[in-house]
Amino acid sequence: MNDILQHHLDRFRFYGYKKSEKVTKKTLLESAWREISIYGRNAELKLFAKGKRGSNRKRKSLFPNGAVGTIQHERYAEDGYITITFNCIEVIKSFDCLDGVELYSRLRRYYDIHADIPYELPVDNRGLYLTCIGGVGFDGAVISKCDEILQKYDRRSLIAFLARLDVFLYKNKIKKLKLKTFEDFLTKDLNEILIGIIMK
């Protein structure tokens, strides 16, 4: 099975600073987790693949039943190759390696380093920090509820809260968060969030 998987992966190449590195399950996972740490859950991984530029194909998979990427015919690629963009979380899911704890840890790092969260949090309108989570809409009632909840949080706690909520939204494929769903999240996940904060 590993030989078959590697046969499919041999069709791809990294580019940029990793172009001399062979595309394997290990190197793909390392690259995908790194990108999530830097860019959050919308992180992308670009690979070269053998193919003809200008064809009508728009999508290509890593391997059968694996992550499907978008072919970008307009982007630069070496002769005989095309550029394909994959969502990093989908790449990780392809290998059954999407550990919720690991994803939570990477997203915490992302929010800690990259999200626009000041060290001294303002007293008012803390619910607006929900907008740090990209690709999701929030009902006004959810933002108001967050204003109440986050009054007791410091910056560290807020980062943990956002990371846990981001995992919840991703796993449940939620594009717009409504109050009822948010309250379900609070009921199921809030104790785990607070325990995680204490243990860290």
Q: Are 110 and 81 contained in the same domain?
A: no
Q: Is the pLDDT of residue 87 over 60?
A: yes
Give CA–CA dist 130/81, Å, rounded: 40
Q: Are 14 and 80 contained in the same domain?
A: yes
Mean pLDDT, residues 81-108 taken together? 91
Cα separations in angstroms, 184 against 131, 133, 177, 194: 19, 18, 11, 16
Give CA–CA dist 53/17, Å, rounded: 23
Q: Which two tokens stand for residue 162?
A: 């956002």
Q: Are 129 and 192 contained in the same domain?
A: yes
Q: Are 15 and 106 contained in the same domain?
A: no
Helix or strand or coil: residue 171?
helix
**Total structural domains in the chain?**
2
Q: Are 51 and 77 contained in the same domain?
A: yes
- pLDDT for the residue numbered 77: 66
The tens digit of pLDDT for each residue in 129-173 reads 998 998 899 999 999 999 888 888 889 989 999 999 999 999 899
Domain-ending residue, one of 42, 67, 94: 94
Q: Are 107 and 194 contained in the same domain?
A: yes
Q: Are 49 and 85 contained in the same domain?
A: yes
Q: Are 18 and 62 contained in the same domain?
A: yes
Place of tokens 């990477």: 106
Sign of CA dihedral 131, 137, 141, 146: negative
Backbone angles phi, psi at 49, to 5 degrees: -140, 150
Q: Are 88 and 104 contained in the same domain?
A: no
Using a cut of 0.75, tell me whether the model's pTM lies above it: yes
Give residue 66's domain range. 2-94
80: number of CA atoms within 13 Å, CB side? 4
% of the chain beyond a pLDDT of 70: 88
Domain-ending residue, one of 43, 59, 94: 94
Domain-ending residue, one of 28, 62, 94: 94
Residues 6+ apart with CB under 8 A from 31: 14, 18, 45, 88
Q: Residues 12, 51: contact at Cβ < 8 Å?
A: no
> Predicted confidence band at 189 (pLDDT cuts at 50, 70, 90)?
low
Q: Are 112 and 194 contained in the same domain?
A: yes
- pLDDT for the residue numbered 192: 57
Q: Are 104 and 75 contained in the same domain?
A: no
The tens digit of pLDDT for each residue in 25-45 reads 999 999 999 999 999 988 999
Residues 6+ apart with CB under 8 A from 85: 44, 45, 46, 69, 70, 72
Q: Is the pLDDT of residue 195 over 70?
A: no
Give CA–CA dist 22/45, Å, rounded: 15
Q: Are 104 and 188 contained in the same domain?
A: yes
